[in-house]
Amino acid sequence: MHMLNFFTFSKDDNGDLRIFDGQQRTVTCMLILAVIAQKIYRNGKVDAANQIHSSYFYKEDALRKIKSQKKLKFDSEDDDDFFYKITEKDFDISKNISTVLNTNKLYGNKKNMAVNIVYINDLLDDFIKDNSNVDLIDLSTSITDKTFLVEFIADTEEIALSMFESLNNTGKSIEKYYVLKNDLVKCLGEDEVKNNWNQIDFNLSDLSTNSFLISVATLFAGKTTSSKLLDNLYKDVDKDSASEMKELLRKLKIASEYFSEICNPSQMEHPDKNVLKKFRSLSDHISLFGMRQHRPIILAMLMKNFDLAEVNSVLDAVLKLTIKNFYFDERKANTIEKKFADLAKNVYNDDIAVNSIIEAISKLFIDDGELKKAILRKNIVQNRKISYILRRTYNYGLKKGELEVSSENNDVEHIMPQNPKANSQWIKWFPEDDVRERYTYSIGNLTLWLDSDNRRVKNAEFSAKAISYKDSALPENKVIAKNSKWTESEIDERSNRMADAIIKALN
């Protein structure tokens, strides 16, 4: 038996599982099975090769137009396409080393996958040469039957991170939290530390203690890694000085309260209910897009007693950056970690005006030209995220009042339905599956339903939908209703118009 250790998953806003820890092991195992299936296929055992693919790569869904649904999806569509191309059962690795698998022409994940599948193929070839009468079908079943893993599924990324830290590296990252406590007790005594530490524990319940300590250390010393965490916390502190350690404990207690409110905005209190409502809304939407790198900046502002309205203006800048750079342009959020860490340190240690903080964040925005290209090429499949962006865009166009649209998935309307009937006009307009799928999930094909709208026409022909759009209280839906058909040209035209509107709303 072989144990692949722990795999940690979190649920995204559609309820699908995202691999939080275990991505490399998952991909490597699938590459191994793919290479075995390819060799089985070339040996004429087509049914066995098909079974490996149906068990681990695709599931058949007769209710959908694209009947083979991928079991593993990458964040990048290019990575996704490349992975499923090189793992197809009829893909010949040896014949494609100088073309598809040419690492001189690849980069990032695609290069790593190419290197690994060639390496696995070579290892298997060597194994077959060194061992007579290798039964590849027996080999594949032996691997799958005797390999075990433990799955941990969390409802949120925050909980997944906490679970990961408690399991990974034999708990080393969690241990530093208690090393810090021990240092404080050794200097100040149990009676001085106990009640304060209990309050810190209470504030951080269900939160990552490692993330909290890194955020605090960032305020003292800039970008902080786990290995430098304690060094940075003690940067200007003498561990043998009771007064300095007492001050550190005081700061940790205050910071834990603010960190809890940053991560759980419903816990924040403020006399101005409108300001409080905006703080909670902005925080929730930043969390929706998976952004966490801004937390030390907000922690620094709260520790320096910035007004919550000023904090909101910075949160809005962070949200704009998140939508522009990381949602639409699909850049990695860790590319701004160093800049955000330096900014947090400066906010905490210097007198920086809120306008300067916003300006520093705004300088990181991609320009409008890049943003428009990113919006137009975006394959939009996560309804809650685009629901917020559309709602913000439509509200900006209205100038006054707010749309009564919740963030639930069913508020997003695909004008061309996701699953049109086989004999419908939609299939005549879009006969090719890949073209239809691309247009279905483009920005030009998406709008919102208001709570008062008739949604019973979700899968109807465009002529029927147009009647409901015309009666909608949403001005944009009335504009859509003016079209007599909904083909590539109409979607392209609206995509350009919507991209411009989104850019305007985010500026």
Residue 188 near residue 240, CB atoms below 8 Å = no
Exposure string of 92-113, with b = 16+ CB inside 10 Å and e = fewer, is: ebeebeeebbeeeebeebbbeb
The residues, any chain, with a CB within 8 Å of residue 84's CB and separated by 6 or more, are 57, 70
Distances (CA, A) of 223 to 229, 263, 296: 10, 20, 10
Angle 217-221-227 from CA coordinates, rounded to 5°: 60
User: Do the strands 2-11 and 58-60 form a parallel or antiparallel pair, or are they unpaired?
Assistant: unpaired
Q: How many CB atoms lie within 10 A of CB 74?
A: 17
Q: How many CB atoms lie within 10 A of CB 387?
A: 24
Question: Please, what sign has the CA dihedral across residues 485, 487, 492, 494?
Answer: positive
Distances (CA, A) of 222 to 70, 229, 235, 263: 42, 11, 11, 20
pLDDT digits (tens, 9 = 90+) for 247-267: 999 999 999 999 999 999 999
Exposure string of 169-192, with b = 16+ CB inside 10 Å and e = fewer, is: eeeebbebbeebbebbbebbeeeb
User: Two tokens at 156?
Assistant: 């949120």
d(CA 383, CA 399): 24
pLDDT digits (tens, 9 = 90+) for 475-496: 899 999 999 999 999 999 999 9
d(CA 173, CA 210): 6
d(CA 160, CA 208): 9
Structure confidence at residue 197 (pLDDT): 94
d(CA 440, CA 381): 9
Structure confidence at residue 17 (pLDDT): 73
User: Two tokens at 455?
Assistant: 């949604």
Question: Please, what sign has the CA dihedral across residues 342, 345, 347, 351?
Answer: negative
Residue 342 near residue 293, CB atoms below 8 Å = no
Structure confidence at residue 94 (pLDDT): 82
Instruction: Tell which phi-psi region holds residue 365, choosing left (phi > 0), alpha (psi between -120 and 50) or beta.
Output: beta
User: Do the strands 2-11 and 147-154 form a parallel or antiparallel pair, or are they unpaired?
Assistant: parallel
Give the pTM.
0.70
Sequential DSSP letters for 378-408: -----HHHHHHHHHHHHHHHH-SS-----S-
Which stretches within 264-363 are classed as H helix? Answer: 273-288, 295-303, 308-321, 337-349, 354-362
pLDDT in tens, the chain (507 residues): 665 666 777 766 666 777 767 778 888 888 898 989 888 888 888 888 788 888 888 776 655 555 567 778 777 777 788 888 899 988 988 888 778 778 777 767 788 888 898 899 888 888 888 887 888 888 888 887 777 777 777 776 666 666 665 555 444 444 788 889 989 999 999 899 999 999 999 999 888 899 999 999 999 999 999 889 999 999 999 999 999 999 999 999 999 999 999 999 999 999 999 999 999 999 999 999 999 999 999 999 999 999 999 999 999 999 999 999 999 999 998 899 999 999 999 999 998 999 999 999 999 999 999 999 999 999 998 888 999 999 999 888 776 555 555 444 448 899 999 889 889 999 999 999 999 999 999 999 999 987 666 667 778 899 999 998 998 888 899 999 999 999 999 999 999 999 999 999 998
User: Two tokens at 391?
Assistant: 């709602």
Q: How many CB atoms lie within 10 A of CB 482?
A: 9
Which stretches within 91-167 are classed as H helix? Answer: 108-130, 136-145, 157-167
Structure confidence at residue 410 (pLDDT): 47
Structure confidence at residue 19 (pLDDT): 73
Q: Give the whole-number percent of the chain exceeding pLDDT 90.
A: 51
Beta bridge partners of 152: 8
Written as one letter, the residue type at 351 is D
| DSSP reduced 3-state for 3 | strand
| DSSP reduced 3-state for 7 | strand
Q: Annotate 450-500 with three-state secondary structure.
A: CCCCCCCCCCCCHHHHHHHHHHCCCHHHHHHHCCCCCCHHHHHHHHHHHHH
Structure confidence at residue 132 (pLDDT): 76
At residue 184, φ and ψ (nearest 5 deg) are: -65, -45
User: Two tokens at 489?
Assistant: 């040209």
Sequential DSSP letters for 54-110: HHHTEEE-TTSSS-EEESS--SSHHHHHHHHHHTSTT--TGGGTTTTT-GGG--HHH
H helix or E strand, kind and range, residue 322:
none
d(CA 19, CA 241): 44
d(CA 210, CA 245): 19
H helix or E strand, kind and range, residue 18:
strand 17-21
User: Two tokens at 231?
Assistant: 């060094």
Beta bridge partners of 446: 414
Structure confidence at residue 385 (pLDDT): 92
